[in-house]
Each structure stands twice: as structure tokens, then as C-alpha cells.
A and B are shown apart, each in its own frame.
Chain A
């Protein structure tokens, strides 16, 4: 008959072990997702890089033609986009980026600037809503594997609000995938667009040769800039997604290791309890026998 203590410890061991199974599974899933997410990041890079190059060249060749998306306005209302994940269990991934955005929201409020909050992912939505921020729009269910269509939807909404004058600037808070071990929350200015540096020499060459435009340079710039914002947004989402998986893998690895340690500790305690029980039983028997012989 196992004592109450021994039973309690065995029950805990079981619960820790089944948690460990879950965390290990999540770790493996996240690890496989990182690879895919990372491939997507690399696959998207040529487009983003070319887009920056083209925008830089056209911007340089068109001699700084004005465009609403390039124009700096007095900021009365700032749009803030927070990119988080839909699910937790990713260590400090969500906390880092949300805290950073919240600090900025408080700072803006302190400067007397109104803010409009846009979020990606349930985590930021529930956190900020709980803190009493009004959330203009939440994009959910896209952080796992963001598609270009998702990026376009977000970019279009932001550009629309910007064009209508509801917001005078947009900044995004998102996590940058530096490496498998390092992901850092960072702030990205989205609107007004800060034109990319033109490629060394390319602008002058294009200007001296004279690009031929179909249609006009200004029209082209008008078509290009929204695409540029979309591409930037897509890059942001892909980076965030890769970071999320990397953070989750790390958190789950730590959890699995902890569970392993805990199991070892608990089974030691269980053995001790069992041993103590046997010792008690033996001394009871011995005591009983002793009493009989003396009697």
C-alpha cells in the first residue's frame, strides 16, 4: 500500500511527464516551422531589394516628384501597428514587442499626440484592449504563415487611413529575425515613406541616360510606392513569423529541459518516500516480533 505522500508524488510525476510530451512536441513543430519561415524570408528578399532599388532609381530620376505617401505632415494622430503572435508559449517574444509599443503609446500621449492602434495577432489585441486602448483594426490568424495578400490588406488599410488624413504617420513595432538565437523587437517607420538610398551611381546613370517611362514617371511612382509599402510590410510579417517560431522553439526547449529536471527530482523524492515507508514497515514488524518474544 502506497502512502498518501508517495501517491501524490507519483501523480505529479505523471503530470510533469505529460506536459513534457506536449512541450517537446511543440519544440519539434516550431523547429520545423523555423526552417520554412526562414526560407520564406530569404525567398522574399530579392523582391524587396529590387523594389527598393527601383523606387530609389525612379525617385532619383524623377527628381523628387511629390507624392502624398512621401510627404511629411505635422503629426496630430499617429498610427501604431503592433505585430505579435496569435498564440503564447513563445517566451518573451510577445511581451518584448508589446511593451515597446506601449511605451511609445504612452510617450505619444504625453506629447499630446492622438494615437490609433492597429494590431496583428491576438496577444497584442488582448493585452492592449485590457489596458484600455481602442483597437482600430486587428488582423488575426496570419502570423503563422503570413501571405502576401495579408501584407497587402494591412498595407492598404494603413495607406487608406493615411491618405484620408485619419492618421499622419505610421510606425510599426515588430520583431526582427537576426538569427536563430537573437530576435529583437524594433520600431519601423512605415509612413510617410522614407525613400531608399539610391544605388551607387545608378541614379545618375539613369538620369543622364534618361529613363524612358511608360506611363509617366509620376504615375509610375504613384504605382510603385504602395507596392513598396506592401513589400516592406510583407518583409516585416515574415520576419516576425520566423522570430515567433524561433522564440517558441527556445521557450519550449527550456520547458522540456525543466520538466526533465523536475521529473528527476520528483522520482528521487518518490524513491525516498517509498524507502521511508519500507523502513517504517520493517521497524513495525521487528517491533512486533520483539514484543512477542519478550511477552
Chain B
């Protein structure tokens, strides 16, 4: 079985997802990044887009994320997002929702 790491996706209003994951694919301002267990300590800024978590056991969760930060430290990954939502469906749907989150966020902010 693949090695896992602790993943937490938090937004200002709630914990969106938390648990052990095998892999996380997300989008930073520099481009897409895939994270497996024992990644080196990293800080990155997130951009708007979709993220896919492969949870322990292989279940996939798709998230729409708008902005925030990614911290990897001691095999603990934290996504501090401005807005995040779990999406039913594929990554295209997630990307679309992320875009709408971004627009909603800009009008609210």
C-alpha cells in the first residue's frame, strides 16, 4: 500500500477535508504540483483551479479551490484556502466552480 500523509484542507469558515491521503494534485501560482508522502518542506501560494486528493484506500475527492497557501512540513500537508468546495464530478467541473468561486470572492471582497 502506498505511503500516506496527513492532509488538511481548511477555509476560513470550516475544515473542508481532512484525513490521510496518498496523493494530492493541486495548482500553485507556479503551475501544477503533485504531492506524495515525504515531500520536502514547501511553502507555496495556490491559484484558482481544481485539486484532486487520492485518499487512503484510493478514493478520489475533487475540490475546487480559489487562492490560499500550501504548506508541507513533517509529512503534514495543509491547504489554507480562501475558498474551497468539494465537487461531485470531474476536474473540468471543479475548475469551472473554482472560477465561479473566484468571481464570487472578488465581488464580495
Residues of chain A whose beta carbon lies under 8 Å from any beta carbon of chain B = 40, 43-44, 46-47, 50-51, 53-54, 57-58, 61, 147-149, 151-153, 156, 202, 205-206, 209-215, 217, 219-220, 223-224, 227, 230-231, 234
| A–B pairs, 20, beta carbons within 8 Å | A43-B13, A44-B12, A46-B15, A47-B10, A54-B69, A54-B78, A152-B109, A211-B42, A212-B42, A214-B29, A214-B30, A214-B33, A215-B29, A220-B44, A220-B45, A223-B69, A227-B69, A227-B82, A231-B12, A234-B12
Interface of A (DSSP majority class): helix
Interfacial chain B residues near A214, Cβ < 8 Å: 28-30, 33, 42-45
Contact yes or no, B109 A202, CB < 8 A: no
Q: Complex: how many Å from CA A205 to CA B74? A: 9
Q: Complex: how many Å from CA A147 to CA B109? A: 10
Contact yes or no, B69 A224, CB < 8 A: yes
A-B contact number at CB 8 A = 91
Taking CB atoms and an 8 Å cut-off, the chain B residues in 1-43 that contact chain A are 8, 10-15, 28-30, 33, 40-43
Interfacial chain A residues near B44, Cβ < 8 Å: 213-214, 220
Interfacial chain B residues near A205, Cβ < 8 Å: 41, 73-74
Interfacial chain A residues near B80, Cβ < 8 Å: 47, 50-51, 54, 227
Interfacial chain A residues near B99, Cβ < 8 Å: none
Report the 7 A-B pairs with minimum CB-CB distance, sorted nearest first: A149-B108, A214-B44, A148-B12, A214-B30, A47-B10, A152-B109, A43-B14
Q: Complex: how many Å from CA A151 to CA B30? A: 28
Q: Complex: how many Å from CA A151 to CA B8? A: 23
Interfacial chain A residues near B8, Cβ < 8 Å: 46, 50
Q: Complex: how many Å from CA A151 to CA B68? A: 16
How does the 8 Å CB contact mask read for B46-89 relative to A, with 1 for contact and 0 for none? 00000000000000000000001101011000101010000000
Q: Complex: how many Å from CA A220 to CA B43? A: 8
Interfacial chain A residues near B12, Cβ < 8 Å: 44, 47, 148, 151, 230-231, 234
16 additional A-B pairs beyond A47-B13, A156-B109, beta carbons within 8 Å, are A43-B14, A47-B12, A57-B73, A149-B108, A202-B73, A209-B40, A211-B41, A211-B43, A212-B41, A213-B44, A214-B28, A214-B45, A215-B29, A215-B45, A220-B45, A220-B69
